[in-house]
Structures are given as structure tokens and as C-alpha cells.
Amino acid sequence: MSETLADKLRKQINGRSLVAYSILAALVLVFVLFDFKQGVSGVGSIAQVNNAQISILDFQQEEQRVQQYYASLFGGAMDFSSQRQLLQQQAVENLVRQELVAQAAKEEGFVATDAEVRDYIVKDIPIFQENGFFQRDRYSRFLEMNRWSPAQFENKVRKEIAMTRSRRFFETASRPNRTEVAKLMDLKNHKVNVSYVKLNAIELGKKVKVSEAEASQMLQANPEFLKKAEAEFKATQSEYDQKEEVKAQHILLAFKRPQDLGATQAPTPADPAAEAAVLQKIKEIEARVKKDDFGKVASAVSEDPGSKTKGGDLGFFTRGRMAKEFEDAAFSLPVGQVSQPIKTQFGYHLIKVNERKVAHNATWEEVKVLVAQKLIGKQRAEESIQKIEAGLKDKDEAGINAQLKLLGLSWEETGLFDLSAESVPKLNGANVSAAVFEATPKNQWVGRLVRESGDQYLLKLKEAKVESASLDLKAEDLVAQKRSSQNYESWVNAYRKTSKVSINQKILQN
């Protein structure tokens, strides 16, 4: 890649349109427009990429953003303290990668002018607009809320535009020629549907019916099996222990934070007046559930989408899964009682505990029959899988289907997909995706069980057909997208190999 080519391409690309679709949740672009007090930043740094420091403040905000993302996936009451180190590592990696891309882009000459940055802030960020006009007060509050100075924001906008332009450069340079597109279309015209069965001896063993009498007899009559069962119990004893659990319902009234109005940064404290209003409302609901059914009220007013439709039911949960304040209240409540309003980072909750299980460490005598049933079931599942594998070698379709029936399994289908697909529908994993193409219309079976992690797959071609279609320009876009992604990643990785990256591990351990 030459600077001349990059300069030529930059002139062809409109900066504002590029940035508009590429803003990430952790990064909002701002320009130095007014005089502000210097933003408060973290002391020290979390990482250094060549000569650039990544501040602790940026790390804290990125960590909160990552946590907020996963909280939205797993429900508003989840507590991620046990996974904090993993979230921190992801946050640091995100920031390091952003800085690497920004530096690499700058070296290639991808830059943004003052006018581009200023125009983007004044015209294109919705949270700074009212009736189509830029609002200085909104801009000021946003900077102060995020503890960013105008200079820090300007640096972010310049980096983001440079990174976006570098990505568009690879998209433009990766356009395929017509011959390549024609080959892709040929692959797209060939469609197949694959039948498959997933085999997992441990999971299948749980479904095999083994009577208590049979398990007891095996323990008594077979010393070798008894030793194996005792070893299995010692290795997996915690699986049989009863942890302390509670079954609860809850009602959540969520805080409305500034980012709910359109900003994309990490969570910030709720407005005090808004929080007081939420507290008053939850107290009114508290009085209501003393007379009305808790589940009906939860279905009507709770703001937790994950449990609202189930009357606020969270099922059984152990310690360490919920926010600490929520957990402390739930595990201290007597069965049948409703808590007072409990405040967490997500809002105010009312909690009702419906059932409790007391912690208990299992003993061998208590669970030995269960352990024996598990082992016998696994052994039988393994034997059936071995017979299926033998049936593949002998091309014994009837024998294979007999074993599948014995295991309670049935064939599933991927559905028709074209040969240009990057992955096979419903079949994740490189091994199984590659093995699918070993089947042909003449030899429909993949003549072996394909192993993927702890699973094995039985594969058979069910249908293959060719469709006639004219050259589709969308196919060209697909080729360009895949190729540009690969080239872009190679470019970033190559720059990383020549860069010096250091992480402040002491901060990650706190």
C-alpha cells in the first residue's frame, strides 16, 4: 500500500458519511468548539501502545461498556463480579486494538481535517441537536459527564475518522474482477441440504434408562465397576452437592440514565430526582403487592423484560449469580415474604422468595446408585456410538438407524445452503463444516464420525441441486467484504507485530 494511493482514495471518500455508520458504543466524536475546564482523567495508564498511553479513565469507561453489553444479553439482575477479570481483559484488548488501528492508519496518511470533525459534531450527532440545531449546553454536559476535555474528544474524532477511512480503503481495493464473481456465482448456484445427528456420549448417557435395581446389582457384583464408580464420585462430587439456592420472583423499576436518551457511553449514575421518583413508585407497588398477587403485578409493571412475561419468576439461583445487593436480600428473606425496595445498579427491586434449598455435601452412600446409573448409561451410549461407526464402515444404514432409535435420536437437517456459504447452517466448527463436502450425490454418507470438541457428528447428503441464475452484483459485494476483512486483519496484525504493547497488569488484578 502506498501513501499516494491512500491520498488518492481519501479524496474520493466523504468523511462524514463514513463516520456516520461506524461509531461504536464506546466512542462518541467531539471537537474543540468552546472553552472548557480540563476533564478529570485517571492517574497513570492501563496500557501503552508504542508511544501512546491508554488512560485508566478510558479503561474504566470501556470496562463499564463491555459489562453493560453483557448485562443487556443476560438480564438486568445479573452480577458479573466473578467474570470481572475476563471483562477487563476484553476491555483492554478493545482499547489496544483501537489504538493500533489508529496509529497504523495515521502512518498510511489517513487523516481528518478540522472542518470535517467540526461539521460532524455540529450537524450529525443527534444528542447535541434540537430541532435540527446544535445545542451548546447539551454538548457541555456530555463532556463533563464523561470527564473528557475538548482536546481529548478531538483526538477521539480524528482517530475514528482515520480508522474508518482505512477500513474503506481495503473495501475499495478488494473489489474482485468479473471472473472471480462468476466463480462465486457458480458456487452460489449449487445448493445442498445435509442430514446430521450430533452424538455426545455423556449427554446421551443421561438419557439411557438404567433402573436403580440394575445399578445396585452392578455395584455389588462387579468389583471393578465399584472402583470405577467410587473414582467417578471423587472426581465429580461437587456435581452431587446441593448448593444453597432460592427460588424468587422480582419486580424491577429501572433507572433512566442519560445514555437512555441517545448517548452511547458506559452507564452513569441515575439523576437524583429521577431516582427519587423511581423509589416513590416502587414503594407504591410494594403496598400493592401486599393485597394483590405478586406475579400479576410483576407482569403488569416490571421493567425486566427477561422475567416480566413470567410473572417476575427468576427460577432457582445460587449465590454469585445476582447483583450483591439483590443476592443479600434474596438469601436473607424468609420464604413467602416480600422485601422492601432493594437498590442495585439497574434500579429498584421488590423480591419475593418462594422456595429455599439448604446447602448439603453429598456422601458416597447417598448418591452411589446415581453415580452407577450415570456410568452405565454412558457406557451404553459409547457402545451404541461404536456400533454406528462400524455401521458407517459396513454401509449398514439399517443398523445405524436402529442404534439411533435405541438412543432416542432422530435426523436433523441443515436446510438448503449454497456452497459459497462461510459456514454450514446449524453445524458450527471447522471440522464438521469441512467434512460436509465429502458427501456427494453418488456417495451420500460421510464415511466416518466427525469429531468437533466433545461431540461427534453423523453426516449424510440429503439433497443437492443446481439453480440457474444470472450474475448478481451483490455477489461482488460479498467477495469484496470477505476479502477486505481478511486483508484488513492481516494489515492490523502485521502492524501489531512491529509495535510495542505493554499492559499494566497490577491494575487488572485490583
Instruction: Indicate the fold that domain 3-173+480-508 takes in CATH.
Output: Triger factor/SurA peptide-binding fold (1.10.4030)
CA-based radius of gyration for the chain: 30
Numbered ranges of CATH 3.10.50.40 in the chain: 245-357
Numbered ranges of CATH 1.10.4030.10 in the chain: 3-173+480-508
Residues 6/169, Cβ–Cβ less than 8 Å: yes
pTM for this entry: 0.46
What backbone phi and psi angles, to 5 degrees, belong to 247? -110, 125
**3 state SS of 148:** coil
- pLDDT by residue for the chain (510 residues), tens only, comes to 333 333 333 333 333 333 332 322 222 333 333 333 333 333 468 889 998 888 888 888 888 888 888 777 666 555 666 677 788 888 888 889 888 988 888 888 887 888 888 877 778 778 888 888 888 888 888 878 877 777 777 778 778 877 888 888 887 777 766 676 677 677 778 889 999 999 999 899 888 889 999 999 999 999 999 999 999 999 988 888 888 999 999 999 988 644 333 333 334 455 788 888 999 999 999 999 999 999 999 999 999 988 999 999 999 998 888 889 999 999 999 999 999 999 998 899 999 999 999 989 999 999 999 999 999 999 999 999 999 999 999 989 999 999 999 898 999 999 998 887 778 899 888 898 889 888 888 889 999 999 998 899 999 999 988 877 655 556 566 667 777 788 888 888 888 899 998 888 776 655
Residues 406/390, Cβ–Cβ less than 8 Å: no
Sign of CA dihedral 390, 395, 399, 403: positive
Residues 426/414, Cβ–Cβ less than 8 Å: yes
Residue 214 CA to residue 372 CA, distance in Å, equals: 9
Can you spell out the DSSP letters for 468-485?
Answer: -----HHHHHHHHHHHHH
The DSSP element (H or E) to which 346 belongs, if any, is: none
Residues 347/254, Cβ–Cβ less than 8 Å: yes
As given in the structure block, the three cell numbers for residue 253 are 423499576
Range 245-357: architecture per CATH:
Roll (3.10)
Residue 343 CA to residue 372 CA, distance in Å, equals: 46
